[in-house]
Amino acid sequence: MPSISHLLEELIRTLPFFWKPLLLTFELTVASVVVGTVIGLFIALLKLSKNGLLSFLANAYIAVIRGTPLIVQIFVLYFGFYKIIDLGQFWSATLALAIHSGAYIAEIFRGAIQSVDKGQREAGLSLGMTSNQTMRRIILPQALKRSIPPLGNQFILSLKESSLAAFIAMDELFSLARRLSAETFDEMTYFLIVALYYFVIVLIFTYIVNKMEKRLAKGDS
């Protein structure tokens, strides 16, 4: 176990090396959550569809994605499709994370949409709106607002899961920690440093999510 002084010394010394991987980790997380949110909303609407086939396909997607490890999904996209299309490290990891988080985001949106009072839908229909217009203009805005807190938590989960991109040699935080550990044989120091980076980022985003929840709670009161 490294001493506190040694840990702080290495933290300061390696700060310039960790800056670029830190930025890459953030870009990977943001891109995957944005794409995953679009996928999740689409799948949620399919699941709530009255069309049995569409609902079945949405349920099958959620079951398969949630029932298989994320690392397997990353490997399938990176190694399994390179002969058809070379997505590269960044987009392989981004799409794998997006597809994975999309299955969970779909359930977030489904729950939020179903939580909107049925009277809202009936009111929209009574005003002459079609079912799609009622969904788009009345139901979805309320559902999206209610989805923000759990979506913030999903963002934090995706941030931590982005460390799996290291297994396709993507130069993000965890990958750099592994490389420095191999070069110096001082594994614990660099894994503790990268853990500290993740911890600080998670604290920041947890604070932001909590502030958003309080603001939304005030808006509803």
Residue 177 confidence (pLDDT) above 60: yes
What are the tokens at 187? Answer: 């594994």
Q: Where are the domains of the chain?
A: 4-220
Cα–Cα distance, 90 to 42 (Å, whole number)? 23
pLDDT tens digits, 39-54: 999 999 999 888 889 9
Fold of 4-220: MetI-like fold (1.10.3720)
Please state the rounded mean pLDDT for residues 55-79.
89
CB 160, CB 147: distance < 8 Å: no
Cα–Cα distance, 154 to 202 (Å, whole number)? 11
pLDDT tens digits, 178-219: 777 777 777 788 888 888 888 888 888 888 878 877 776 665
- Structure confidence at residue 83 (pLDDT): 65
Which parts of the chain are beta strand (E)? none
What are the tokens at 37? Answer: 């949110």
